Structure 1
Amino acid sequence: MKTDSDVFINAYYLTELLLRKNRTSRFFTGFLKMDEFPIRRKHSKWFVSKYEYPWDKYPPFCSGTGYVFSGDVASLVYHVSDSVPFIKLEDVFVGLCLAKLGIGPEPLHSEQTFFPEGLAFSTCRFRKIVACHFVRPQEMLIYWHALESSRGEACPGD
């Protein structure tokens, strides 16, 4: 898994979903970005010029806040990466590598489990997420402790 330092990861739920998925090769998942366009506004953090990327649409990729791949995909991306034109947006670059390999990102679950825009904390809600962005270090400890101490307790709808 690749993630950012301000992303809370529920390793228990991630493991549960991966075991259910039962995919050990050519697997890549996260918050799917299937129809994204380059940002051409020069003052944007995500600006990409026509020179850097001349096409009007990115191939499918997963948000860089957190994505998961099988071990073979990590190796395949590494080996193909020197033949793919570099782009400064790492998540898009990985998507370009995957496109060259003919590997598309797949949903991990029918419900959303990756939250790149953040999510208000609740113990019951966070039991069923994989990743949540914009979490401060002290919050991560609080959230993790809350999840750990509530194991075995019922939530509405369980």
Structure 2
Amino acid sequence: MRKIRARTLLLVGALGLLVLHLCKDCIDHKNIHLNIDVKEENIQVRQPSTKNSYVYSWPKCQRNTSAANVTGFSSLPGDIKNFLYYRHCRHFPMLLDLPDKCGGVDKSAEVFLLLVIKSSPVNYDRREVLRKTWAKERLHNGVWIRRIFISGTMDTGFEKERLNKLLELEQREYNDILQWDFDERFYNLTMKQILFLEWMERNCPNARFLLNGDDDVFANTNNMVVYLQSLKDNDGGKHLFTGHLIYNVGPIRMSGSKYFIPVQVQESDSYPPYCSGGGFLLSGYTALVIYNMSQSITILPIDDVYMGMCLAKAGLSPSSHMGVKATGLHIPSSTLDVYDPCYYKEVLLVHRFLPAHLYLMWHRINDPNLKCGPSKKKL
């Protein structure tokens, strides 16, 4: 009797496997997909999004409690403690994805300038202004400019839900947001950069050039296209990383500073050369080099410095561009209008701008009737 039962169970099991095999197509027709990739001992589940595309969802990264054993840990500020607890984390659940933003891997080379804009969920007004001004997706000088905002999450409970819903509504209308479920805070900016570069390698590896910057900068993207088109023998397949160059500096050890980096985070007293994170231009080639280098470099919370570290490991250097004004424009006299459009017509990028000033400036510099003297153009 036991042998008969065993044979019956084996027969039922075999029939079950046959049914699953035969019904594979009917499961697919119901849009039920489960693809599992193993990376760094994590399981990655791809779930269907609202647009029949995949959203990559990593399990929540667990706190490394051994970080508390670091000498002097108890005296560190809360943000630094939190950073050390989760410093090992490289993957977070993805809430909003843009798998077809570049037209697929094969067509991604048609994206000449990809605007990668760091934006907190609450900065709705900034995103709206950028969509209407320098970040507008368009064909300029015969090449395509595309736009992506990259964001984490903020707050908890109902407020977090509301902000996530806001980004979801923006996504439905504009299709321009990448969002991951990690805390949107200053010390997580490096993780935001790494997550974007991972997305780029997967979905947009052949984009020619990128502008990487904040959502409060004024960027003359028309000028950027002209500058990038003028580069000799570089269509994005060679090294380029340029902006406001910073060198011969090191970690700030004063705990009251926004940029405070204690020895528990980095022992070295020097940073490699890097470009200010407010905004810089880089080639698609260099972006992927940075991503590859990041896989073996311990995360530093200052994102622009970290990019410099990745470049240094690759044997590459950032360069200075006089058109990038990360600290704002220096106007020679207090009697002059600091928002005179003639000062901004020839630059590439200026940090920082309020949304209303940015909206007005974009339209003023693009006014065909604007006339500027040579002295203002040189600033």
Give the TM-score taking structure 1 as reference length: 0.90
Q: Which residue of 2 aligns with 1:122?
A: 340
- Deviation >4 Å, runs of 4+: none
- Aligned mates of 1:49, 1:73 — CA distance in 2: 29
CA distance in 1, matches of 2:291, 2:354: 31
Structure 2: which 5+ residue stretches go unaligned? Answer: 1-210, 330-337
**Distance in 1, Cα, partners of 2:326 & 2:279:** 8
2:372 to 147, 155, 158: 155
Hey, what's the Cα distance between the residues in 2 that align with 1:43 and 1:118?
A: 24
- C-alpha displacement at 1:155, in angstroms? 1.8
Q: Counterpart in 2 of 1:65?
A: 278
Alpha-carbon separation, structure 1, partners of 2:278 and 2:345 = 19
1:107 Cα offset (Å) = 2.6
Range with greater deviation from structure 2 (55-64 or 117-126): 117-126
| 1:99-130 deviations in Å (ceiling 9; x for gaps) | 0011101233xxx2111222332211101111
CA distance in 2, matches of 1:152, 1:78: 44
- Where does residue 113 of structure 1 map in the other structure? 323
SS at match of 2:244: strand
**2:360 equivalent in structure 1:** 142
Q: Which residue of 1 aligns with 2:227?
A: 17
Matches within 5 A, 1:34-73: 34-73=247-286
Question: SS at 2:260's partner residue?
Answer: coil
How many Å apart are 1:87 and its aligned residue? 0.4
2 CA distance for matches of 1:11 and 1:124? 16
Distance 2:361 2:371 in 1: 17
Tell me how far apart the structure 1 counterparts of residues 350 and 305 of structure 2 sit (CA, whole Å): 20
RMSD (Å) for aligned C-alpha atoms:
1.5
Structure having the larger proportion of residues in strand: 2
Which one has the largest radius of gyration? 2
**What residue ranges of structure 1 are gaps of 5+ in the alignment?**
none
3-state SS of paired residue (1:8):
strand
Pick 1 or 2: higher relative contact order, CA cutoff 8 A, min separation 6. 1
> Deviation at 1:14?
1.5
User: Which amino acid counterpart does residue 125 of structure 1 have in structure 2?
Assistant: Y
Structure-1 separation of matches of 2:325 and 2:246:
12
Identity fraction in percent: 31
Distance 1:18 1:152 in 2: 26
Q: Which amino acid aligns with 1:87?
A: L
